[in-house]
Amino acid sequence: MKSVAVVLLALALAATVYVTRAADQGSRPPGVEAGNWFRLGERLGFVVVRSNEGVIGGAQVLSAAPENLAADLLPPMKGYFVIQTPTGWRTVVMAEPVLGK
């Protein structure tokens, strides 16, 4: 019974990943490549900004292959959030909230 539950959970996860990846790529902001776009909702997304940090002579400097490293050992990905408004995509600026008065 446990193996059936594990298989069903794996299928549900695979379906979720497929649907997320196959989301309407045409709805991404203009000029953003599909590989740099992560749709988070109907009108919210994250754009990854690729940079040359951690690159020496055109090669990424890592002690092991990225798939063998924990996420906290990989260089951080940089990017920004965008929301879709009636006039188009707008960048979201994260501001620190004013706490207490």
94 contacts 79 by C-beta, under 8 angstroms: no
The DSSP secondary-structure symbol of 67 reads G
Q: What would the mean pLDDT of 34-61 be, rounded to a whole number? A: 76
Q: pTM for the full model?
A: 0.53
Residue position matching structure tokens 């709805």:
27
State yes or no: pLDDT of 19 exceeds 50: no
The pLDDT value recorded for residue 40 is 92
Look up residue 94 and give its two tokens.
């994260």
91 contacts 82 by C-beta, under 8 angstroms: yes
State yes or no: pLDDT of 25 exceeds 60: no
The pLDDT value recorded for residue 59 is 53
